[in-house]
Amino acid sequence: MTDLQKRLHEIIAPVIAFDNEIEITEGKGSWVTGADGKQYLDFACGIATTNLGHRPDDVVAAAQAQLNKLWHAGGAFLYEPIIEAAEAIVGIAPDSIEKAFFMNSGAEAVEASVKLARKVSGRQGIITFRGAFHGRTMGSVTYTTSKAKYRQGYHPLLPSVFVTPFPHPFGWDMTQEEANAYALRELEMKFRYEVTPHEIAAFLVEPMQGEGGYYPASREFLQSLREIADEHGILLMIDEVQTGFGRTGDWFTSQVYDVEPDVMIMGKAIANGLPLSGVASSAEIMDQWRPGSHGTTFGGNPVSCAASAATVAGLRDVVPTVPATSEYAFSRWNELKDRHRTIGDVRGLGLMIGIELVSEGNTPDPHAFEAISAHAIDRGMFILNCGPDGNVIRFIPPLNVSREDLDLGIDILAEGIAAYENR
């Protein structure tokens, strides 16, 4: 154990588990540097947050310039970066999105979205989807069902939250169409037996489940939710915290699927790693949220907002390249799937790709992930997993990753998979 690891265990609450207790001192682009000088390819991306890689020059310059001028306002007075960040985001968002409210974390933004939905609709019920991850606060953990462990020991959670299945075709051994039909049938049953649709304020849904195992909703399923929401006056709240800012091939996944959200929730890559999150909607909805109904001290921090506007500017040239990079990455992963029995499924959108590792009979194999991740660390690369069994590799390189680094990352993981199969 290094000295820093000893200090970690003495002073930091164990609840914040570091996947790897390896000290990193610096990051630039797709790479980070260990305290011992070792270079690591960072395909963890701070959990799909550093979409432009570490410390992109223009974002650094914008944040530094703001740091030298004003770094906190706390709602006492107006400052331009908050307006610039909102204008930048509304400019790239779906047409239905016209006004934004900024906070610090994804969970806070989820909490705010539910308060907004209840306030505006006068209804209490929230429908969420099994396998979803929306955060760790008491409210957001109520909407989170990606792992029972996240909720264990915290009951009672919030009332009037109804959980319904989200299509998991691979896990259910179904086609996407069968899984969509099953999930929609269950939603119908929810309305028939548990709660009437006119008691529901909002659907809260990820357009592609992240922590839950990298399952895309599919265009058909999300469009069906849009139709059901319209039929019953339910708000469709799309949580783009992990999927936003180019990750899935367009600015937001709702644009990939041509579905207009009523409320959009953002975080993670919004400022490429500086703390910022947001909830955004039409002016008609947002204008019903009157002054004092909600608030924040740190939300919309000037430095984070300056970084956010620069992040959006920096992504302008990058987002259009994501579909081609994605196609290449998928072709390589699908080739590997044909060669390796451990790869049960390759799925996702854009550069948010899940590689599900399995043993005999498509049984989830978390040991495969552990072995492949250990191999990657040894070879100088970080990856994360997801899914209730921890057996899905999240393949989330920076969106501007070079072809050389992309290939290197896939090669390292392929070697790890081969070594695991030949163990």
Ligand X SMILES: Cc1ncc(COP(=O)(O)O)c(C=O)c1O
Could you tell me if 423 and 359 are in contact, meaning their C-beta atoms sit under 8 angstroms apart?
A: no
Only segment of 128-136, 217-225, 331-339, 377-385 that touches ligand X (CB under 6 A): 128-136
Contacts of ligand X in 78-107 (CB under 6 A): 105-107
Which residue is closest to ligand X by CB?
Answer: 106
- Pick from 133, 170, 257, 382 the residue near ligand X by CB under 6 A: 133
Phi and psi torsions of 416, nearest 5°? -60, -40
Contacts of ligand X in 207-246 (CB under 6 A): 210-211, 239, 241-242
Only segment of 203-211, 246-254, 281-289, 415-423 that touches ligand X (CB under 6 A): 203-211
Using the minimum distance from each CB to ligand X, give the nearer residue, 144 or 400.
144
- Looking at residue 378, its amino acid is D
387 touches ligand X (CB under 6 A): no
CA distance 142 to 149: 12
Only segment of 133-141, 293-301, 394-402, 410-418 that touches ligand X (CB under 6 A): 133-141
Tell me, residue by residue from 345 to 384, as one string, x for binding to ligand X by CB under 6 A and - for no binding: ----------------------------------------
Instruction: Name the minimum Å distance from CB 135 to ligand X.
Output: 4
Using the minimum distance from each CB to ligand X, give the nearer residue, 115 or 232.
115
Rg of the chain over Cα atoms, rounded to whole angstroms, equals: 21
- Pick from 206, 356, 365, 389 the residue near ligand X by CB under 6 A: 206
Instruction: Name the minimum Å distance from CB 195 to ligand X.
Output: 23
Burial class, 99, CB count within 10 angstroms (exposed 0-12 / middle 13-18 / buried 19+): middle
The full 3-state SS of the chain, as one line of letters, equals: CCHHHHHHHHHCCCCCCCCCCCCEEEEEECEEEECCCCEEEECCHHHHCCCCCECCHHHHHHHHHHHCCCCCCCCCCCCHHHHHHHHHHHHHCCCCCCEEEEECCHHHHHHHHHHHHHHHHCCCEEEEECCCCCCCCHHHHHCCCCCHHHCCCCCCCCCCEEEECCCCHHHHCCCHHHHHHHHHHHHHHHHHHCCCHHHEEEEEECCEECCCCCEECCHHHHHHHHHHHHHHCCEEEEECCCCCCCCCCCCCHHHHCCCCCCEEEECHHHHECECCEEEEECHHHHCCCCCCCCCCCCCCCHHHHHHHHHHHHHHCCCHHHHHHHHHHHHHHHHHHHHHCCCEEEEEEECCEEEEEEEEHHHEECHHHHHHHHHHHHHHCEECEEECCCCCEEEECCCCCCCHHHHHHHHHHHHHHHHHHHCC
Only segment of 186-194, 204-212, 213-221, 381-389 that touches ligand X (CB under 6 A): 204-212
Strands 24-28 and 31-34: antiparallel
Instruction: Name the minimum Å distance from CB 281 to ligand X.
Output: 17
- Pick from 62, 100, 110, 306 the residue near ligand X by CB under 6 A: 110
Using the minimum distance from each CB to ligand X, give the nearer residue, 235 or 336.
235
Instruction: Name the minimum Å distance from CB 259 to ligand X.
Output: 16
Tell me, residue by residue from 29 to 68, as one string, x for binding to ligand X by CB under 6 A and - for no binding: ------------------x---------------------
* Number of shown-chain residues binding ligand X (CB under 6 A): 15
252 touches ligand X (CB under 6 A): no
Only segment of 21-29, 130-138, 177-185, 220-228 that touches ligand X (CB under 6 A): 130-138
Using the minimum distance from each CB to ligand X, give the nearer residue, 111 or 365.
111
Instruction: Name the minimum Å distance from CB 140 to ligand X.
Output: 7
Using the minimum distance from each CB to ligand X, give the nearer residue, 52 or 386.
386
Q: What's the start-to-end Cα distance of the chain, in Å?
A: 27
267 touches ligand X (CB under 6 A): yes
Using the minimum distance from each CB to ligand X, give the nearer residue, 211 or 345.
211
Q: Which residues lie near ligand X (CB under 6 A)? A: 47, 105-107, 110, 133-135, 206, 210-211, 239, 241-242, 267
